[in-house]
Amino acid sequence: MPAGEIAQVLGVKASTLSTYLGTLMQVGLITQMRVGTSLLYTVDMAQVRVTFDYILLDCCRGRPEICAHDPIPDLNGVSPMEDRKFNVLFICTGNSARSIMAETILRESAGERFVAHSAGTKPQSELNPFAVQVLRDKDHDVTPLRAKTLAEFQGADAPKFDFVFTVCDLAANEECPPWPGQPISGHWGLPDPVKVEGTSAEKALAFQQTYGAMRRRIEAFTALPLEALDRIALQSAVDDIGRS
């Protein structure tokens, strides 16, 4: 389309349009072709699609409601999840209680479908003894558990994650490098049982309550028909679980 027609349709001055067209060409969203004495502009739909993919799936993390008023349909890569084992990472600050519980619950309740991991942004040297005791009381195997740093899961040999969940507000608010493969992410924040003061019985109760809340969320997650949901529907579902 000639620049004059574009300016007429948009109702903008030629000088203003020239600036806009130059910017769009610079980022590859339109192309320019000379026909005789006229310059014709064409939308590069392939590059537009790539840009929408980036905005919707990366910047907006699959949440179209924060990108636009209406969902953008039929984007490349927005497809149902594959039928395979899914890698899941739970993140908190210390990796000594909440994320350790989440890793253990998912591994032992749905290990045939998920590979569970956990890590901390500032991991403790030891697991919280109340958390370990709760897991033992629930007949979980605590032998393989240890506090781990995020760096263990950011190297070239690290697993490619399908889901990354933060389970504490501090970890959710920290800047982390982007995860390869654009995993589904969610915030499943729970109050920190470590901060509860009182008797040993009162502290133990706080950890029991945290375990129960985490287990309910993981049960809701493992009940999702992952293979039937596209990324946008799945992102919405994990966000709903985090609000439950």
Per-residue pLDDT at 223: 96
Burial (0-12, 13-18, 19+ Cβ within 10 Å), 22: exposed
Q: What domains can you pick out in the chain, each with its CATH number?
A: 3-66 (no CATH), 86-243 (3.40.50.2300)
Strands 30-35 vs 163-166: parallel, antiparallel or unpaired: unpaired
Active-site amino acid positions: 92, 168, 176
Residue 115 CA to residue 101 CA, distance in Å, equals: 14
Digit-by-digit pLDDT tens for the chain (244 residues) are: 787 778 777 887 776 777 878 888 888 888 888 877 777 888 888 887 777 666 666 666 556 555 554 443 343 444 556 667 999 999 999 999 999 999 999 999 999 999 999 999 999 889 999 999 999 999 999 999 999 999 999 888 899 999 999 999 887 777 666 788 889 999 999 999 999 999 999 999 999 999 999 999 999 999 999 989 988 899 999 999 999 8
Question: What one-character-per-residue DSSP string does 126-190 give?
Answer: S--HHHHHHHHHTT---TT----BGGGGSSTTSPPPSEEEE-SHHHHTS--PPPTT--EEEE---
- What pLDDT does residue 60 have? 62
Interatomic CA distance for residues 81 and 192, integer angstroms? 32
Name the one residue in this structure whose structure tokens are 């129960």.
212
Q: What is the pTM of this model?
A: 0.69
What pLDDT was estimated at residue 207?
98
Name the helix (H) or strand (E) containing 100: helix 98-110
What is the side-by-side order of every strand in the sheet holding 163-166? 114-120, 86-92, 163-166, 184-187
How many helices (H) and strands (E) would you count in the chain? 8, 6
Place of tokens 């507000």: 169
**For 97-109, b where at least 16 C-beta lie within 10 A, e where not — what string?**
bbbbbbbbbbbeb
Measured at the CA of 12, the angle between CA 6 and CA 13, to 5 degrees, comes to: 105
Residue 32: predicted pLDDT? 86
CA angle 116, 150, 84 (to 5 degrees): 30
**Residue 77 pLDDT:** 45
Given this model, what pLDDT does residue 144 score?
93
Confidence at residue 176, expressed as pLDDT on a 0 to 100 scale = 66
Per the structure block, which two tokens stand in for 236?
A: 């919405």
pLDDT at 71: 44
